[in-house]
Chains A and B, each alone.
Chain A
């Protein structure tokens, strides 16, 4: 990224860390930088040396010459990203929502070799352990979050799950849904993961490994069509399912479900 770093002049990077992934954001323009600083305030990091992420307002065609063969590229509406072994470039980012979306996409690629992934899930902390509730849109993630005491919701939308310190842990993220919270830069060992089904009763249902994979796959954020990466994802999920209790939670729209999962 040497060429890019010098091209950005004396820009001071905004250093953040999400799920122990240090990122060094080089954001031109004070307006977007202020927006980013506000959005990721809970995730700012003191240390430098994170993966360089250079934001450019131009289109993707202005990619740097040495990045002819990026490891990964993605186009999202008017914005796009390139990732290679030196860092990432975000093009066409003009507001914080595009930055947020590209950061999610970037993280899915960076986390994979670190045994981590992003999941459409709400995570609630109870007695020092993380309970992860996943499901497609409308399954009840926000409902579960809204039924939980203030301060216990690690995220209501995107959970970052990663194998660190010898166990699977859930990390707070700045990626929120309806709650629009700043997020908590904390992590907790995962007690279990629950696929949500709204029901007339509260009960948990055991799942086979295949059923869990079938439930998780549509909820994993993943954006590459590379076969090797998809193989790695399957391998990672199988390892996850082998080490974390995974069940289907039938629940009513009240907090009584805790009685059947955290008894």
Chain B
């Protein structure tokens, strides 16, 4: 599991009506995410952890945290399998932190 998911920098994207539309320039494939997956996508900046994202999902959709985390993990795995999220890596550490 990618603990600090990060968007694949080789993809172009825009958020349209709260949902992400992602272009893979290398093969011109277009991915469209639903609202929940889009929340993960927009949060996946390499600094927010899975727990952070699950917190945001629990708050937004008013679901218990364990349920949100299970959903987040499933979606992150799915997005990673499609190549939309890059491989796990350590989060950037702020200087002096």
Which A residues lie at the B interface, using CB under 8 A?
Answer: 208-210, 213-214, 217-218, 222, 224-231, 233-235, 238
Interface centre among B12, B21, B26, B30 (most CB of A within 10 A): B12
| A227–B32 touching, CB < 8 Å | no
Residue of A nearest to B19 (CB): A210
Question: How many Å lie between the Cα of A238 and that of B15 in the bound state?
Answer: 10
Query: Is B10 an interface residue when CB atoms closer than 8 A count as contact?
Result: yes
Q: With A and B bound together, what is the CA distance between A158 and B36 in angstroms?
A: 37
Q: Cβ of A238: which chain B residues have Cβ within 8 Å of it?
A: 14, 16
**Shortest Cβ gap from A37 to chain B (Å):** 34
Given A210-B32, A214-B30, A225-B25: A231 and B12 within 8 A (CB)? yes
A234, B23: Cβ atoms closer than 8 Å: yes
Q: 6 A-B residue contacts at CB 8 Å?
A: A210-B16, A218-B30, A225-B25, A230-B25, A234-B23, A238-B16
Chain B residues bordering chain A, tally (CB within 8 A): 16
Across-interface contacts of A224 in B (CB, < 8 A): 25
Residues of B within 8 A of A213 (CB): 16, 21
B9 lies within 8 A of chain A by Cβ: yes
Q: How far is the CA of A252 from the CA of B91 in the complex (A)?
A: 57
Q: Is the CB of B19 within 8 A of A226?
A: no
Interface of B is mostly: strand
Determine the distance from Cα of A139 to Cα of B28 in the docked complex, in whole angstroms. 20
Question: Which residues of A sit under 8 angstroms from B26, Cβ to Cβ?
Answer: 225
Q: State the CA gap A233–B13 with chains docked (Å).
A: 10
Is B11 on the interface with A (CB-CB < 8 A)?
yes
Query: A214-B32, A227-B9 are known contacts. Are A235 and B25 too (CB-CB below 8 A)?
Result: no
A191 to B32, CA, bound (A): 28
Chain B residues in 8 Å Cβ range of A229: 25
Per the bound structure, the CA–CA distance linking A217 and B30 in Å amounts to 9
What separation, in Å, do the CA atoms of A226 and B26 have in the docked complex? 8
- List residues of chain B with CB within 8 A of the CB of A222: 28
A164 to B17 alpha-carbon distance, docked (Å): 27
Contacts of A227 in B (CB 8 A): 9-12, 25
Min Cβ gap A103→B in Å is: 21
Identity of the chain B residue whose Cβ is nearest the Cβ of A238 in the assembled complex = B14
Chain A residues with CB under 8 A of B13 = 231, 234
Instruction: Please list the 4 inter-chain residue pairs (A to B) with the smallest Cβ-Cβ separation, ordered nearest first.
Output: A230-B12, A225-B25, A234-B14, A231-B12
Q: How far, in angstroms, from A224 to B25 measured CA to CA in the complex? A: 7
Report A-chain residues with C-beta under 8 Å of the C-beta of B11. Answer: 227
Q: Kindly state the separation between the CA atoms of A235 and B12 in the bound complex, as whole angstroms.
A: 10
Q: Which residues of A contact B10 (CB under 8 A)?
A: 227
Q: Is the CB of B25 within 8 A of A210?
A: no
B22–chain A nearest beta-carbon distance, Å: 9
A234 to B30, CA, bound (A): 11
Q: What is the CB-to-nearest-CB distance from B21 to chain A, in angstroms, rounded to a whole number?
A: 6
The chain A residue sitting closest to B21, CB to CB, is A213
Give the residue among A224, A227, A238 with the most B Cβ atoms within 10 A.
A227
User: What is the CB-to-nearest-CB distance from B89 to chain A, in angstroms, rounded to a whole number?
Assistant: 19
Q: From residue B35, how far is it (CB to closest CB) to chain A in Å? A: 12
